[in-house]
Amino acid sequence: MHLTILPGITSPVDLKALDLDQLPKLAEEMRHAICTQVQQTGGHLAPNLGVVELFIALHRVFDFGHDRLLFDVGHQCYPHKLLTGRYPMLSKLRQKDGMGGFPDPSESDYDLFMVGHAGTAISTATGMARGDTLRGEGWSPENPGGRRTVAFVGDASIVNGLSMEGLNHAGTLDRQFLVVLNDNGMSISRPQGALASYFDRLRVSDTYRSMKKAAKGMVDGIPGGDAIRSIGHRLGEVAKDVVNEDPWFEKFGLLHVGPIDGHDIPSLIEALATVKDVNLPLVLHAHTIKGKGYEYTEGDATAFHAAKPHRVTGCRVEVKSGGHSFTSAFGDALCDLMQRDDSVTACSAAMADGTGVQKAIDRFPERTWDTGICESHAADMMAGMAKTGLRPFFAVYATFMQRAFDQCFQESSLQGLPLRLCLDRAGLVGGDGAVHHGFCDVSILRTLPGAVLMAAIDEPSLREALEFMRTWDDGLTAVRYPRDDVNEMLSGTQCPPYFLGKAVCLRSEPAADVVVLAYGVPALTAIEAADRLGGELAVEVWDARFAKPVDGDLIERILRSGTPILTIEEHSLIGGFGSAVIDEAVARGFDASLIERSGLPDRWIHQGSRGEQLAEAGLDLDGITTSMRAAAGRVKSPPPPMVEVPKRTSAVQ
């Protein structure tokens, strides 16, 4: 397709200058541009294809250089970015120095928050609405030049606990506040729970009145005078479906309009132009089709939610295949556990495919669940199962686990209940960037008394870690593994079982110049680096396996010999595995100056390939080689000289 309109959109001002009959062609070009680029680099395809018309209408009606637009999750932001002048950046989608896959204020003033976790939009929008009002900058009939506020939320995100809390408070706003509910009947996969069923009934029920009649009846009961009633009657002329007679959102104090057709641009524009001047909190419910515009994305929106690079030839879609991923390895191992032990249960929070749990759902549907985007609930539900004597596994991305930390603390660890956390995407995740890195799971879970924290380096070690977790009933356990293919470097060796707090030697040296304690997959890179340095340094490499408890006897033995230690981890240095090793050394009375640490630096690492990110963090082959040399050069040194500390004196003479 030859693009004739999209390349000329340098800001929403250009969009507003187009004739109305040009907008369907613009939507077609935007879909083509997004689909073509995602075929090359991968990215969130189906979510973005489904909201093209919605964002055309939103930017046509509002001025988000002045008004406020808050995203929930943000993976559906590609159309928004194209309409705000970022089409030239699309060619480097999710790549280093290119267009990020999520909103990012450093990329554009049209992005207010860097977001990537569900449930946040309504709360942040409520805060901005209140802030603008307090500063005298909020829109009202008395201040028509003020800022309006719009929160863009999906039907899966709306069930998140934070969304519920946000709605509860948003309903108390005494000003304009618009929630655009993008209801495509899908989450990452099929949405879960009673509210999803409610939306299904709302979309298809024939027991509701016509939109025009319903809108009039609803608005007639609203305090606010003739102006609001007039707006309500206009809504009846532009919406396509219904207004619920007993709207769920009105229980929170928000008016509810819709569902309307989320792909009918003229109706969307007229509806938004109407509701933007309602001086009360309001939900505009738009029904969209996830993956809209292409048969293969509409037909399998789950598979093309976060698509890998692929090629479309006629009716065939060929996805570029990689190796055997840790996610797939986990799904296979989980099914094996459930086959052998009928007390094992499992769940995921809207990431059944992304974590590999879908395999268990298909084989053991009575013992496996997808809770929807509700990590806190999932953790507590699993804790409840543990209380009944079951052996629950909660598979969750490391970046989302922290949303359930309070439940890991209160309902699992504090109770001594064996919640089992399987932390996918631990470490650096590539194109999704900073919003999705799993960089702090060790540091936060280490604080829980009795917690057992593990890492896997390949598929056999992952299976052994899961088997250890299955039989460990004394408290919370966790195993972390990356968004990567499993490495088969050690496939010809026997993988020993996990024993509490014990490391395994991967490369021995009788008189080592430095001993590497590596936590997780960096252990394999450490072997390569040690081989590279073979003629220069003697390097011994251990698979640490545990960040809590660490192998204290091994640490003591190494330090007693006067040999430097290098710790390596794909995790923040602050509070991570290396910190645990230093804590153990100090607790045993040893000088920790012989310990060098390598891990994620104290700064954000943005989108790019996983290899580029590892290099930036100094965790690629070159970086680890450099760290080995630095560690080998560590020697005991005298303490630094005392520095006189200035003393505070009284100002009164």
pLDDT given at position 199: 55
3 state DSSP class of 453? strand
Q: Tell me the two tokens of residue 254.
A: 């928000």
Residues with Cβ within 8 Å of 614's Cβ and at least 6 positions away in sequence, in order, are: 428, 570, 620, 623
Say how far apart CA 72 and CA 181 lie, in whole Å: 10
Domain ranges of the chain: 6-295, 326-480, 504-632
pLDDT tens, residue by residue, 104-138: 999 999 999 999 998 999 999 999 999 999 999 99
Q: Tell me the two tokens of residue 256.
A: 């509810």
Helices and strands in the chain, H and E counts: 25, 21
3 state DSSP class of 514? strand
DSSP string, 358-407: HHHHHH-TTSEEE--S-HHHHHHHHHHHHHTT-EEEEEEEHHHHGGGHHH
569 part of the active site: no
Decide if 357 contacts 386 (C-beta within 8 A): no
CATH H superfamily, domain 326-480: Thiamin diphosphate (ThDP)-binding fold, Pyr/PP domains (3.40.50.970)
Which is catalytic among the residues 29, 107, 270, 375? 375
135 part of the active site: no
Residues with Cβ within 8 Å of 141's Cβ and at least 6 positions away in sequence, in order, are: 227, 277, 279
CA dihedral 428, 433, 435, 441 (to 10 degrees): 0
The span from the first CA to the last CA of the chain, in angstroms, equals 83
pLDDT tens, residue by residue, 182-209: 998 754 445 555 555 555 555 444 333 3
Q: What are phi and psi of 443, to 5 degrees?
A: -65, -35
The 3 state secondary structure assigned to 93-104 is CCCCCCCCCCCC
pLDDT given at position 420: 98
| Paired strand residues for 348 | 370, 395
Which is catalytic among the residues 403, 420, 483, 548? 403
403 part of the active site: yes
Which is catalytic among the residues 290, 463, 548, 597? 290
Decide if 105 contacts 111 (C-beta within 8 A): yes
Residues of the chain falling short of pLDDT 70: 186-247, 295-296, 298-302, 306-307, 310-322, 636-653
Q: Tell me the two tokens of residue 207.
A: 């027991």
Burial of 204 (0-12, 13-18, 19+ CB in 10 A): exposed
Say how far apart CA 298 and CA 102 lie, in whole Å: 22
The 3 state secondary structure assigned to 68-95 is EEEECCCCCCHHHHHHCCCHHHHHHCCC
The CATH number that domain 6-295 falls under is: 3.40.50.970
Closest C-alpha among 410, 445, 637 to residue 548: 445
pLDDT given at position 238: 47
pLDDT given at position 41: 87
Q: Domain 504-632, what fold?
A: Rossmann fold (3.40.50)
Residues with Cβ within 8 Å of 106's Cβ and at least 6 positions away in sequence, in order, are: 114
Decide if 545 contacts 521 (C-beta within 8 A): no
Residues with Cβ within 8 Å of 632's Cβ and at least 6 positions away in sequence, in order, are: 513, 514, 537, 539, 564
Domains 326-480 and 504-632 share a fold: yes
pLDDT given at position 307: 67
Say how far apart CA 98 and CA 499 lie, in whole Å: 45
Residues with Cβ within 8 Å of 364's Cβ and at least 6 positions away in sequence, in order, are: 335, 338, 346
Closest C-alpha among 443, 441, 445, 379 to residue 412: 379
